[in-house]
């Protein structure tokens, strides 16, 4: 199976190339960049060696049956209709097709929403919770990094209605690669190192994406409080999730629920009571590790969910979805152990 990557010069694109390198059933047939067509990818990323030359984004040049769009928001909504029309299947890593309501997209992304007909075809690619629809889709809206960590961490409690619907607070921490490869003062080493910054307090564009899924699971779920922090590290997201318990359930029972829920999910690993994952536990891998705790004093549950933002939070989950679309085992090509230390 031949696949193509559009937007190969960003961090999502280069991670796709790394992950697909040894995939037994997919081969990167062409890589594309609107701005750097004709350039060898090695000139952009010397570590990659001389495998690829960047091509323009013209249909004739796109060899893959399946196309990964690793482009910024606003770009995918333009190219996707053409790609679908030309018979390609598409996995879009941007936020363009994640929100079912174009108005919500316009509000949070400050961009024109995609074509409505195309939007309707999009299937939300949180693999663990949508395998069947993904299997039959032509267009996957690959989830954002924060939503992946948050939703996998919250799902069992929300579906089971074990938490008070309006009580959710998410305090997320991300490495700097999540901001992409574009240059700005905000990613300058001297401004980021030895520093923690909070940003987009309750205004992050991933909020409606999370809330949409939460309400699919339980329509009573209300708006949540959500803040994101920039941490002086390259990769990794930790979502620390707080919610009020809606019923009396022991911690052991909660952990049992998580284990039961994810028992057929090879990439979700649940910790025993008293143990919590750190971001390094999933570094470079497609795992989402989850720890749960309950505090009797406050009747609140704290869930800790960690992923590598570039793998399970982007390229890895995209490959996982591609596997499902192609009828393969979902972990195909993705079983590499985290790199530690």
Q: Which of residues 287-316 bind a copy of itself (CB under 8 A)?
A: 289, 291, 293, 295, 297-298, 300, 302, 304, 306
120/222 with CB nearer a copy of itself: 222
Q: Which of 115, 280, 326, 332 binds a copy of itself (CB under 8 A)?
A: 280
CB of 112 to a copy of itself, least distance (A): 24
Active-site annotation, residues: 145
Q: Which residues 48-77 are close enough to bind a copy of itself by CB under 8 A?
A: 48-49
CB of 139 to a copy of itself, least distance (A): 28
Q: Are strands 2-6 and 66-69 parallel, antiparallel or unpaired?
A: parallel
Q: Are strands 27-32 and 54-55 parallel, antiparallel or unpaired?
A: parallel
Contact of 168 with 242, CB cutoff 8 Å: yes
CA pair distance 247, 165, nearest whole angstrom: 12
Kindly state whether residue 220 participates in binding a copy of itself, applying the rule CB under 8 A. no
CB of 42 to a copy of itself, least distance (A): 10
Q: What does the angle CA 26 – CA 31 – CA 35 come to, to the nearest 5 degrees?
A: 160
Q: Which of 27, 232, 253, 263 binds a copy of itself (CB under 8 A)?
A: 232
Kindly state whether residue 277 participates in binding a copy of itself, applying the rule CB under 8 A. yes
57/172 with CB nearer a copy of itself: 172
Q: Which residues 181-210 are close enough to bind a copy of itself by CB under 8 A?
A: 181, 183-185, 187-199, 201-202
Q: Which residues 4-33 are close enough to bind a copy of itself by CB under 8 A?
A: 11, 14, 17-18, 21-22
112/298 with CB nearer a copy of itself: 298
CA pair distance 234, 12, nearest whole angstrom: 13
Q: Which of 279, 286, 317, 321 binds a copy of itself (CB under 8 A)?
A: 279
Scanning 85-93, 133-141, 179-187, 252-260 for contacts with a copy of itself by CB under 8 A, the matching segment is 179-187
CA pair distance 173, 236, nearest whole angstrom: 8
CB of 117 to a copy of itself, least distance (A): 30
Nearest-CA neighbor of 302 among 224, 244, 252, 241?
A: 241
Kindly give, in sequence order, each residue whose CB lies less than 8 Å from that of residue 298, ignoring residues fewer than 6 positions away: none
Q: Which residues 250-269 are close enough to bind a copy of itself by CB under 8 A?
A: 269
Burial class of residue 254 (count of CB atoms within 10 Å of its CB; 0-12, 13-18, 19+) = buried
Nearest-CA neighbor of 72 among 90, 55, 54, 96?
A: 96
135/179 with CB nearer a copy of itself: 179
Binding mask 134-173 for a copy of itself (x = CB under 8 A): --------------------------------x--x-x-x
CB of 77 to a copy of itself, least distance (A): 26
Q: Which of 35, 38, 47, 248 binds a copy of itself (CB under 8 A)?
A: 47
Within 10 angstroms of residue 72's Cβ, the number of other Cβ atoms is 17
Query: Of how many residues is the chain composed?
Result: 341
Nearest-CA neighbor of 334 among 301, 313, 311, 314?
A: 311
Size of the site for a copy of itself (CB under 8 A): 83
Kindly state whether residue 281 participates in binding a copy of itself, applying the rule CB under 8 A. yes
Contact of 155 with 149, CB cutoff 8 Å: no
Q: Half-sphere exposure of residue 202, counting CA atoms within 13 Å on the CB side?
A: 5
Under DSSP, the state recorded for 53 is: B
CB of 137 to a copy of itself, least distance (A): 29
**Maximum CA pair distance of the chain?**
63
CB of 40 to a copy of itself, least distance (A): 12
């Amino acid at each position: 199976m031949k696949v193509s990557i559009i937007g190969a010069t960003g961090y999502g694109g280069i991670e796709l190339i790394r992950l697909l390198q040894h995939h037994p059933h997919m081969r990167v047939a062409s890589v594309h960049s609107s701005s750097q067509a004709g350039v060898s990818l090695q000139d952009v990323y010397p570590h990659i060696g001389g495998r690829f030359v960047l091509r323009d984004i013209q249909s004739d040049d796109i060899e893959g049956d399946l196309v990964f769009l690793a482009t910024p928001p606003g770009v995918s909504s333009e190219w996707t209709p053409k790609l679908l029309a030309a018979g390609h299947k598409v996995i879009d890593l941007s936020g363009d097709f994640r929100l079912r309501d174009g108005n919500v997209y316009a509000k949070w992304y400050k961009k024109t929403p995609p074509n409505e007909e195309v939007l309707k075809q999009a299937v939300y690619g949180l693999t663990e919770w949508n395998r069947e629809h993904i299997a039959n889709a032509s267009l996957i809206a690959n989830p954002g990094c924060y939503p992946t960590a948050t939703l996998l961490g919250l799902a069992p409690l929300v579906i089971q209605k074990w938490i008070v619907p309006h009580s959710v607070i998410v305090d997320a921490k991300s490495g700097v690669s999540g901001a992409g490869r574009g240059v700005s003062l905000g990613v300058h080493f001297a401004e980021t190192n030895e520093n923690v910054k909070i940003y987009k307090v309750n205004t992050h564009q991933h909020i409606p994406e999370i809330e949409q899924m939460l309400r699919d699971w339980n329509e009573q779920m209300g708006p949540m409080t959500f803040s994101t922090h920039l941490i002086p590290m390259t990769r990794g997201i930790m979502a620390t999730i707080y919610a009020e318990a809606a019923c009396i359930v022991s911690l052991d029972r909660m952990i049992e629920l998580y284990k039961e829920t994810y028992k057929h999910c090879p990439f979700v690993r649940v910790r025993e009571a008293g143990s919590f994952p750190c971001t390094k536990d999933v570094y470079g891998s497609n795992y989402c590790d989850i720890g749960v705790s309950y505090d009797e004093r406050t009747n609140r549950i704290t869930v800790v969910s960690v992923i590598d933002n570039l793998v399970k939070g982007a390229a890895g989950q995209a490959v996982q979805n591609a596997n499902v679309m192609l009828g393969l085992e979902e972990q195909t090509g993705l079983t590499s152990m985290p790199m530690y230390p």
